Amino acid sequence: MDFRMKRALEIAALPAVACIFAYAAYVGLVVAPPDREMGDVQRIMYAHVPMVQMMLLSGTILFVCSVLYLFRASWKTDALAEASAEIALVYGAIGTTLGAIWGRPTWGVFWAWDPRLTTVAILLVALAGYLALRRFVDDPERRAVWAAVTAIVIAVDVPIIYFSVKWWKSLHQVQSNPRTVDPDMVHALRWNITAFFLVFIVFLVVRYRIALASRMREVTVPEAQPQTREAVAS
Amino acid sequence: MNTLHTVLAAVGEGRIRGGWEYVRAAYAICWTGLSLYAVSLWIRSRRSEELK
């Protein structure tokens, strides 16, 4: 497939993703029934759950890419790790904010140091640190190795976040499943997970290309800046 | 069966009444956040293509 064809397909896919996203929002906000206990406030779930799921998926991609990089160094896996870390931070920050808004009418507080919330907060701070580390190291190879090791340590938090509600039964509810939830709610949640996943894929592809182009510029013109400065000085 | 319908109708709207302001705030933050990130990616993508 040539570049123009690929580009045209990508541009055509964007309105399709936007339509699916709009329909999913309609199903979650209008079609799905209100919850027996929480009433309409429960509709926040259709955005909060997919956002947090995408954060966990992105954290998993970050871990896999980092391990792969250490076994077989490649700028592609390094670029994908950088992209997934940034997207995990964005999705996690928004998802946590939605959870806090949902917590106010249902728990009575925006924030509690519950194990689930605390482990997510640790992940967000760690991801911000990971992205800061990438900015502070100039040498691309050293940066990629340090980032990969840091990411593997950070990724230990991902399964802890998932299982925290099962291990420490506290304020945050345990994951629901389709057998315990109204089919109309399951339908709405599936549409929203699909919509948020498609947006996630678009973001990941675009961010990956930006990171890979930046890496290629760094490695194809090694030490270009210092040489230029020396030439100017002499 | 009628009793079941009566019970379901009684709890049909939930114990927490209203709360749409929380739903609106949550969706507004979500959509605004994702839109701003999309704009940020678009700007960085354009800049990256210019540097090629």
Domain ranges across chain B: 19-52
For residues A179 and A42, give the distance between their C-alpha atoms in angstroms, rounded to a whole number.
18
Residue of B nearest to A105 (CA): B19
Tell me if residue A108 falls in helix, strand or coil. Answer: coil
| Predicted complex ipTM exceeds 0.90 | no
Q: What is the pLDDT of residue B3?
A: 64
Inside any domain, residue A139: yes
Dmax of chain B from CA atoms? Answer: 71
Q: What is the pLDDT of residue A178?
A: 80
Residues of A in contact with B4 (CB under 8 A): none
Burial of residue A55 (number of CB atoms within 10 Å: 0-12, 13-18, 19+) = buried
Contact B14 A199 (CB under 8 A): no
Closest-CA distance of chain B to residue A198, Å:
13
Supply the range of the domain harboring residue A191: 21-28+43-219
One pLDDT digit (tens) per residue for chain A, 234 residues: 677 787 788 888 889 999 999 999 999 999 999 988 888 999 999 999 999 999 999 999 999 999 999 999 899 999 999 999 999 999 999 999 999 999 999 989 999 999 999 999 999 999 999 999 999 998 999 999 999 999 999 999 999 999 999 898 888 888 888 888 888 899 999 999 999 999 999 999 999 999 999 999 988 865 544 444 444 344
Residue with the larger pLDDT of the pair A11 and B30: B30
Contact A213 B48 (CB under 8 A): yes
Inside any domain, residue A91: yes
Across the A:B interface, residue pairs with CB atoms under 8 Å apart total 91
Of A155, A100, A146, nearest to A126 by C-alpha is: A155
Structural domain tally of chain A? 1
Give the CA angle between residues A94, A29, A97 to the nearest 5°: 15
Inside any domain, residue A207: yes
Is A193 within 8 Å of A21 (Cβ atoms)? no
Inside any domain, residue A68: yes
Q: What is the pLDDT of residue A229?
A: 41
Q: What is the pLDDT of residue A17?
A: 92
Q: What is the pLDDT of residue A232?
A: 39
